[in-house]
Amino acid sequence: MIPKSHPRYESLLLRDKMVKAAQEGYLADSALIAHGRGEAFDYLIGEKTTYPAKRAMYVAVAALLLSNNPVISVNGNATALAIDEIIELANAIDAKIEINLFYRTDERVKLITQLYKNHGYKNILGTLDDDIEYINDIPNNRATASKSGIYSADTILIPLEDGDRAEILKKGGKNIITIDLNPLSRTSKMSDVSIMDNIVRAIPFMTKIAEDLKTQDKKVLIDMVNDFDNEENLKESLEQIRIKE
Ligand code: ATP
């Protein structure tokens, strides 16, 4: 048991979740390393949601609400850290959830499918019996997508995504939104909206934003999306990283 008074309490709880997920067998071998990279950036922003991240989240939710076929792409890490919160967000914005694994194996897909079902979400896409297509006909595991999900989606939320996969989605003409603690990653630079925040803070915050934005005029949402400059916001995000005491 980690004592609540421990200065890294929240962070250690997340580590526990990741270790448990690794033991359950649905994480890729490199998943803990990717988590560690995220932790380091989170440390440097004080493990708090910054102003540029909040701004990006408002724009992201507006874009998702304006979409015809929004999809949340999930991998092992996102599932381990925020499965219930992801389901809540999907319900709030009427988005589909699709399993997308960089290192896709039948076993991991099966385990993650079952997890979403156990948590009350029945219509998960990207499963073993789903209709899988290749984006832009690229004959590569990284280009796979569910026909009724990412393949035909207009906007995709890709938390903790790998740069190669993000590039394929971008080239496939998708509007992409990422949640990535590293503002320098290829995924952050390539995305239309990059949220530099921990997924465990960002997703529930986006659900709250959705409740607010759903009551707004469509025109307000369109203006929010059009007025946003991701490059500028990423610069501001980078300025939030403090390496002095
Ligand atoms: P890229 O390929 O896009 O340049 P990368 O090689 O860093 O980036 P991966 O290691 O494949 O990408 O993906 C993990 C990314 O997710 C990292 O950038 C890491 O900062 C981020 N990350 C890890 N854990 C979290 C988390 N809990 N919340 C948000 N982002 C996270």
- pLDDT averaged over every residue in the chain: 95
DSSP string for residues in 111-152: HHHHHHHHTT----BS-TTS-EEEGGG--SGGGEEETTTGGG
Q: d(Cα 197, Cα 46) in Å, to the nearest integer?
A: 11
**Residue whose CB lies within 8 A of the most ligand 1 atoms, among 15, 17, 162, for a mutation test:** 162
CA of 27 to the centre of ligand 1 (A): 14
CA of 135 to the centre of ligand 1 (A): 22
More confident residue, 39 or 104: 39
Contact 202, 179 (CB under 8 A): yes
Q: d(Cα 45, Cα 106) in Å, to the nearest integer?
A: 37
Contact 135, 143 (CB under 8 A): yes
The string of pLDDT tens digits covering residues 73-121 is: 999 999 999 999 999 999 999 999 999 998 889 999 999 999 999 999 9
CA of 72 to the centre of ligand 1 (A): 16
Q: What is the pLDDT of residue 244?
A: 64
Ligand 1 atom nearest 164 alpha carbon: 2
Ligand 1 atom nearest 41 alpha carbon: 20
**Residue whose CB lies within 8 A of the most ligand 1 atoms, among 181, 199, 234, 241, for a mutation test:** 181
The string of pLDDT tens digits covering residues 118-132 is: 999 999 999 999 999
Q: d(Cα 212, Cα 58) in Å, to the nearest integer?
A: 10
Amino acid at 81: L
Q: d(Cα 120, Cα 171) in Å, to the nearest integer?
A: 34
User: What pTM, to 2 d.p., does this model score?
Assistant: 0.96
CB atoms within 10 A of CB 242: 9
The CATH H-level (homologous superfamily) assignment of domain 51-239 is Phosphopantoate/pantothenate synthetase (3.40.50.12640)
CA of 116 to the centre of ligand 1 (A): 22
- Phi and psi at residue 176, in whole multiples of 5°? -115, 140
Contact 45, 31 (CB under 8 A): no
